[in-house]
Structure 1
Amino acid sequence: MEIASLPLPDSFIRACHAKGIRSLYPPQTECIEKGLLEGKNLLISIPTASGKTLLAEMAMWSRIAAGGKCLYIVPLRALASEKYDEFSKKGIIRVGIATGDLDRTDTYLGENDIIVATSEKTDSLLRNRTPWLSQITCIVLDEVHLIGSENRGATLEMVITKLRYTNPDMQIIGLSATIGNPTQLAEWLDATLITSTWRPVDLRQGVYYNGKIRFSDSERPIQGKTKHDDLNLCLDTIEEGGQCLVFVSSRRNAEGFAKKAAGALKAGSPDSKALAQELRRLRDRDEGNVLADCVERGAAFHHAGLIRQERTIIEEGFRNGYIEVIAATPTLAAGLNLPARRVIIRDYNRFASGLGMVPIPVGEYHQMAGRAGRPHLDPYGEAVLLAKDAPSVERLFETFIDAEAERVDSQCVDDASLCAHILSLIATGFAHDQEALASFMERTFYFFQHPKTRSLPRLVADAIRFLTTAGMVEERENTLSATRLGSLVSRLYLNPCTARLILDSLKSCKTPTLIGLLHVICVSPDMQRLYLKAADTQLLRTFLFKHKDELILPLPFEQEEEELWLSGLKTALVLTDWADEFSEGMIEERYGIGAGDLYNIVDSGKWLLHGTERLVSVEMPEMSQVVKTLSVRVHHGVKPELLPLVALRNIGRVRARSLYNAGYPDPEAVARAGLSTIARIIGEGIARQVIDEITGVKRSGIHSSDDDYQQKTPELFTDIPGIGKKMAEKLQNAGIITVSDLLTADEVLLSDVLGAARARKVLAFLSNSEKENSSSDKTEEIPDTQKIRGQSSWEDFGC
């Protein structure tokens, strides 16, 4: 079937032709025949690289042409960014991405035709009653099998159920390569099931042992150039012009194999050397850069410990053929478009608490194996498992290659998340009594799988009882409603147990210390804690001996609770060191974490501290200023004396420390010093911008206060030229509540809300710059300044 023959907009067809896509694959043709472009619900379970994303795009463009709006839900932020970039290149439609703060309505995104979002962000938009969600006419569920995930499945299931409840006529497109029970899931979605094993590139799956890859119907000898089987498999593919992905179980193994591969490749290319230089510039540190050293020779590792920019460079380098082999943890297999001729699954066992080493799920194996074979580039793809002995060969075929993927089972009655979802249903008006709650829960995949269950009403009643006791829900005359606290907790996207833990802990102390408050949020259900290692014991014992009195929560007696308490303490110490201005490198080395881990911890800490600020402002206003000061310290990563300086735009922790140490502890001292003096410390461009901001504030009659480090600003957005009532509403919906927020807001976000030209004019007006009255198409260009060595900012973390 030719794409040009389909009832799709000409711009979309031209974009497909430009990419060499003129005809459809057989599974794509079947989807068209089953009503993809007529608004029919489809569950599409076909192999990786068989064109699932193109099917989703065709469905969305068809709905948009009919005046609709589409929502594309993905499991990971990285995948959201990839899809956003991909969809944005197709033509005249408007594409937005929603992965940011979890307590905003993001109303401005409703101006787009396609919105890409994670399931958690979509759930938060529902909780905050984002108006454009009611206009969605097509929803695409990428990696829909993750509805069975222990960590994220409940949220995805509730999002689907809520959207089907509010938008009963919307089209649903589910995409997956690995579902063990697709018929059941399709029936719940009221969707036609499309399954196929067809692939554009032939996939050979086999097991390597004793110098040969054994396939089901043949064997392939591999020359042993080294004593390492995994490396020999890589070199064999590289010599014939292919690339390799090697999946291993841990970050240490990924880095170890990449170094081993780099040693074997040796030479590299001009392109790989250029990539290595990019990576070195990102970190800009004196110590060695193992990743850059590997990439220089054509090898790399990929895991969650890397910052986003590093992962992007590696992925693009691999797609362009500059990197020949990547050693990765399984996170790389979760949806990212990164195929290779040969995929080697070296580590197929994983440690499970209480069980020891157990095989990885079959579905996970198929996700990895599906990366083998690049369409239009490779004549075939190979997925190879490594056997440790002869008896393992047959067992690996049975366990993985010939096995069906696991069933997808509902996770929505999991105790850890059910209370949060019940609260959101009550707070957002989906249900006003227990009967309505029961009726809603009967729409879930859980009830579809367990129609005769007797436990669901009991679990819902238990959740309501907890929420009532916690002061978040009240019941009057059989009517359920959220209290002020309950509504706030739901909008903040906090687990009710987290909110209750924070408030109860703070009520038990007069003035929380930084480590005391951070420890509370780090043991909460919403915080992803660091693992405890044997080497951590001495560090934690030493800290407890000296600082035990600074903690709010006592050390528990139960072993399981003690491990959680200690892992929370370790995570809190990372945040404390960050707020005490330890360098990234020092923190990473001290706790054995990567830069990506540090970013994730600080990002989660910022979110939970923001939530704590909001909770305290409602329940314990007398503690608001203390909590706010601690929160700002973590946000910027500074000691208290730098707070006045980091309130200035473009002044991060290192620039602030440089100014302070030079004798300029606050904005007034900076302004008095003058441009030439400050330029010698932080560079002329930034110095000019900072001094313009300070003097502009002074000319407006605004002065800083000892009690509040945030600059005071005019109360109304409409006092600013270029902002009327409509624009003011858009800013507030985007989470920019006051005019002072504009001075610290992300400029990309401002450009999305106001438009790039208007955003520049608004910022120029606020800083009262010299170019304030220039024409609309001319703006002052701030000279680029070289990054200060060792500077830590959110740009360093890929934000």
Structure 2
Amino acid sequence: MKVADLPLPDALRSQYRARGIEALYPPQEACVRTGIFEGKNLLCAIPTASGKTIVAEMVMHRHIADGGTCLYIVPLKALATEKYEDFSGKGVRVGVATGDLDRKDTYLGKNDIIVATSEKVDSLLRNAAPWLSRITLLVVDECHLIASPDRGATLEMVIAKLRHRNPGMQVIALSATVGNPGALAGWLDAELVTSEWRPVDLREGVFCNGTIHFADHERQVPSKSKNDDLNLCLDTVAEGGQCLVFVSSRRNAEAFAKRAAGGLKLSETTLDDAADAIEREAATDLGKTLALCVRKGAAFHHAGLSSAERKIVEDTFRTGAIRVISSTPTLAAGLNLPARRVVIRDYLRFGDGGMAPIPVGEYKQMAGRAGRPHLDPYGEAVLIAKSEDGCQDLFEAYIDAPPEEVSSQCNSENALRTHVLSLIATRFVQSRGEVLSFMGETYYAYEHQGLQSTIHETIDRVIDWLVDAEMVTEFGDRLEATEYGDLVSRLYIDPRSAEKVVAALRGAPTYTDIGLLELICETPDMLTLFLRKDDAEILPLFLQDHEAELWTGVPYGSDEMEAFYASVKTAMLLSEWSDEVTEAMISEHFNVGPGDIHNKVETAVWLIHAASRLAYLFNRPLAKPIADLGTRVKYGIKKELLPLIALRGIGRVLSRRLFDLGMTTPQEMRAAGIGKIAPILGEKTAAKVLAQIEGKEAGDDAPAVEEEIEVKRERRQTTLSAFRGT
């Protein structure tokens, strides 16, 4: 089937022609024949690199040509950015939404394609983004993540809400690893296309004693080192290919990259340029180690790296300069980074019950990265066996096994609590019966047809909890969100987090920074740091000095104490960041990477903002100091820099330089003049900052006012006892 014969806009046809795309792959042709250009829903379950994204892109452009708006849901922020770049520059307007979780982001409605994570879409639904009602096409990338214990319920509920709101909307779901595609397609009322076809032949095998055993042949691998994993990489590089090595931990990824760098010993200008760029970005020893590896042709990739460091690694690998990347499984979760050979070295992972095999679907995601279209004659996915006896076991457990079935996660009380509240707050439902009726539209209901009593009981318990917490009121059979419940839903925090914060606020605590930080780190929304042996000495000493400042009591039970210590440790990291301790020192103190610091700071800023909004309801005098701490944590500054950081164009480093030179307020900056601030900020930035200051003093900008709660007055709280703190 020729691209020229498809009902596509001329601009897109030209783009494809320029990229050498003249005809569809067989699975793509099968998708077209199902009727996707006539509005049919589709579940496309085909291998990685078989053209799923192009199928979705073609249909999106068809909708746009007819005046429609398209929403493309991805699982990761990094993948959202990648898709945004893929879809841009093709004659349509593309927007990406990954930011604050309590905004309507009305501006996004000006775009033809909006790319967003499922959590962001859920928050947009809760905040009544008006453009969502205009969505004519929903694309769900990596739809198998409905089965994710952490995020699956959110993705499922987002799909159900959008289908409920926009009944005429077309849905296209994409995945390479669905064990039961028929069930998922049935729920979506979708045509199903499955295929094993790939543009590059995939050979899956098991390595043992110098030989890769494939199903129909064997391949000898020269022993250039003492390590099997490195030999597999050097063999691929020697024939002009690249290699991805998946390992179980960050430490293993870093250790292997060092060995690979020593084995490769490459020296190229492109590698030097990439290493120099990483060194300029590097604020920690981790970045410096990465630069050393990259200079020799190897790299590691995990969430501890900064986003800039990860991007340099990814871009340099795509050019072919970096030959080997060792990574934790995060790299397999959708990023377009294929290699000729993928080595799945570690197929056991440490969990709650000790070491356990990784899921088959995760193996398939990793193996699917093997083979670069138009560059490699084939792709190889190789497991490493410990012994000859283990070869057949690995074939049976992974290579010949189907991926796990996608199963709904919507019967968890913790998951349903936040989603039922959002249904009530956004008036999707207004009674218990309507909650049950809406849940009947979910994948859970489709999957468990005829077995609804369990979820009925769960929903009743969840609603009772929300009523007891005064987030929801119930008059007869009518459910309404209170002012408190409406706010919690729009803030996009777990209702249990809100209750923990509100309980502390109503206790009339004396405000302390560490008290608030430790409180938010105790909430279910904060993923705390791991405890290490050294912490057993440091944390008790810290508590001796700061216990009186904490807003929550010290628990007694050993399990509770471990969780408490983890929250205290995380609060210590955030405290150091807001006291302007450097990334390098924080990384050393807490044994974390820049990416970890960024992730903790991002979550903390969100939760502190939520706490400040809740404080307007329950303890208003604390709202301002809480909001100030949020600004300090966001930028990593001491309190004295707050007046300077409020100016656009001035960040953590520049505000400190200005302050240390005696310019502690905007007024003092204006008095100093451009001659003194330009050497610090640069001429252009200095001129813009001074214009801001002059404008504010002249009254051009409205003075800052305390942020008030947006209240829909028809939803006034009917029971006021919880609001006044007696």
- TM-score, scaled relative to structure 1: 0.86
Paired position in structure 2 for 1:596:
595
Shift of 1:482: 0.3
| Cα pair distance change 1:185/1:601, threshold 3 Å | same
Distance in 2, matches of 1:111 and 1:20, equals: 31
Alignment partner of 1:331: what SS?
A: helix
Shift of 1:694: 2.3
Shift of 1:669: 2.1
Task: After superposition, give the CA deviation of every residue in 1:342-364 in whole Å (9 maximum; x if it has no partner).
Answer: 000011100111x2100000000
Shift of 1:315: 0.9
Shift of 1:327: 0.5
Q: Which amino acid aligns with 1:35?
A: G
Give the root-mean-square deviation of aligned CA atoms: 1.7
Q: Which amino acid aligns with 1:474?
A: T
Distance in 1, matches of 2:443 and 2:56, equals: 23
Q: Please list every run of 5 or more consecutive structure 2 residues that lacks an aligned counterpart in the other structure.
A: 711-726
Kept after mapping to 2: 8 A contact 1:509/1:552: no
Shift of 1:238: 0.4
- The correspondence for 2:703, drawn from 678, 689, 712, is 712
Paired position in structure 1 for 2:194:
195
Shift of 1:682: 4.5
Matches within 5 A, 1:363-512: 363-451=361-449, 452-512=451-511
Alignment partner of 1:289: what SS?
A: helix
Q: Which amino acid aligns with 2:381?
A: A
| Cα pair distance change 1:669/1:166, threshold 3 Å | same
Kept after mapping to 1: 8 A contact 2:283/2:584: no
| Cα pair distance change 1:481/1:699, threshold 3 Å | closer
Paired position in structure 1 for 2:295:
296
Task: After superposition, give the CA deviation of every residue in 1:29-52 in whole Å (9 maximum; x if it has no partner).
Answer: 111111121110111111101000
Q: Please say which of residues 550-559 and 397-406 is displaced more in the overlay.
A: 550-559
Distance in 2, matches of 1:423 and 1:157, equals: 16
Distance in 2, matches of 1:515 and 1:627, equals: 11
Paired position in structure 1 for 2:713:
none
Distance in 2, matches of 1:695 and 1:55, equals: 53
Q: Which amino acid aligns with 1:495?
A: D
Kept after mapping to 2: 8 A contact 1:42/1:173: yes
Paired position in structure 2 for 1:52:
52
| Cα pair distance change 1:287/1:528, threshold 3 Å | closer
In the alignment, structure 1 residue 339 sits paired with structure 2 residue 338: yes
Q: Which amino acid aligns with 1:499?
A: A
Alignment partner of 1:173: what SS?
A: strand
Shift of 1:182: 0.9
| Cα pair distance change 1:588/1:154, threshold 3 Å | same
Paired position in structure 2 for 1:4:
4
Kept after mapping to 2: 8 A contact 1:511/1:626: no
Distance in 1, matches of 2:643 and 2:45, equals: 55
Kept after mapping to 1: 8 A contact 2:206/2:384: yes
Task: After superposition, give the CA deviation of every residue in 1:569-627 in whole Å (9 maximum; x if it has no partner).
Answer: 11111110011110111111110111011111111111111111111112222222222
Paired position in structure 2 for 1:255:
254
Alignment partner of 1:20: what SS?
A: coil
Paired position in structure 2 for 1:71:
71
Kept after mapping to 2: 8 A contact 1:39/1:63: no
Distance in 1, matches of 2:404 and 2:482, equals: 41
Task: After superposition, give the CA deviation of every residue in 1:31-88 in whole Å (9 maximum; x if it has no partner).
Answer: 1111121110111111101000001111111222222111110000000110010011
Distance in 2, matches of 1:524 and 1:673, equals: 45
Distance in 2, matches of 1:286 and 1:79, equals: 27
Alignment partner of 1:502: what SS?
A: helix
Task: After superposition, give the CA deviation of every residue in 1:173-212 in whole Å (9 maximum; x if it has no partner).
Answer: 1100001111111111111111110111110000111011
Distance in 1, matches of 2:91 and 2:594, equals: 37
Matches within 5 A, 1:163-182: 163-182=162-181
Matches within 5 A, 1:586-665: 586-665=585-664
| Cα pair distance change 1:655/1:466, threshold 3 Å | same
Q: Which amino acid aligns with 2:436?
A: A
Q: Percent identity?
A: 54
Alignment partner of 2:167: what SS?
A: coil
In the alignment, structure 1 residue 678 sits paired with structure 2 residue 677: yes
Alignment partner of 1:471: what SS?
A: coil
Q: Which amino acid aligns with 2:317?
A: F
Distance in 2, matches of 1:531 and 1:347, equals: 21
In the alignment, structure 1 residue 40 sits paired with structure 2 residue 28: no
Paired residues in the alignment total: 706
Task: After superposition, give the CA deviation of every residue in 1:417-436 in whole Å (9 maximum; x if it has no partner).
Answer: 21100000000011100111
Matches within 5 A, 1:566-585: 566-585=565-584
Distance in 2, matches of 1:68 and 1:45, equals: 25
Q: Which amino acid aligns with 2:328?
A: T
Q: Which amino acid aligns with 2:16?
A: C
Paired position in structure 2 for 1:104:
103
Kept after mapping to 2: 8 A contact 1:412/1:418: yes
Paired position in structure 1 for 2:318:
319
Q: Which amino acid aligns with 2:405?
A: R
In the alignment, structure 1 residue 23 sits paired with structure 2 residue 14: no
Alignment partner of 2:173: what SS?
A: strand
Kept after mapping to 2: 8 A contact 1:52/1:175: yes
Distance in 1, matches of 2:360 and 2:230, equals: 24
Distance in 2, matches of 1:23 and 1:492, equals: 47
Distance in 2, matches of 1:700 and 1:626, equals: 25
In the alignment, structure 1 residue 142 sits paired with structure 2 residue 141: yes
Shift of 1:286: 9.2
Kept after mapping to 1: 8 A contact 2:138/2:169: yes
Shift of 1:325: 0.6
Shift of 1:701: 8.4
Kept after mapping to 1: 8 A contact 2:286/2:593: no
Alignment partner of 1:200: what SS?
A: coil
Q: Please list every run of 5 or more consecutive structure 1 residues that lacks an aligned counterpart in the other structure.
A: 703-710, 716-731, 733-799
Paired position in structure 2 for 1:784:
none
Distance in 2, matches of 1:474 and 1:698, equals: 47
Alignment partner of 1:93: what SS?
A: coil
| Cα pair distance change 1:699/1:661, threshold 3 Å | same
Matches within 5 A, 1:644-793: 644-700=643-699, 712=703
Shift of 1:141: 0.6
Alignment partner of 1:246: what SS?
A: strand
Shift of 1:549: 1.2
Q: Which amino acid aligns with 1:47?
A: P
Distance in 2, matches of 1:99 and 1:509, equals: 35
Distance in 2, matches of 1:701 and 1:312, equals: 40
Q: Which amino acid aligns with 1:374?
A: R
Task: After superposition, give the CA deviation of every residue in 1:749-798 in whole Å (9 maximum; x if it has no partner).
Answer: xxxxxxxxxxxxxxxxxxxxxxxxxxxxxxxxxxxxxxxxxxxxxxxxxx
Shift of 1:692: 3.3
Shift of 1:714: 11
Alignment partner of 2:87: what SS?
A: helix
| Cα pair distance change 1:673/1:526, threshold 3 Å | same
Q: Please say which of residues 652-661 and 326-335 is displaced more in the overlay.
A: 652-661
Kept after mapping to 2: 8 A contact 1:97/1:115: yes
Kept after mapping to 1: 8 A contact 2:430/2:478: yes
Paired position in structure 2 for 1:160:
159
Paired position in structure 1 for 2:539:
540
In the alignment, structure 1 residue 83 sits paired with structure 2 residue 74: no
Q: Please say which of residues 573-582 and 622-631 is displaced more in the overlay.
A: 622-631
Paired position in structure 1 for 2:183:
184
Shift of 1:112: 1.1
Shift of 1:169: 1.4
Alignment partner of 2:174: what SS?
A: strand
Paired position in structure 1 for 2:562:
563
Distance in 2, matches of 1:695 and 1:340, equals: 55
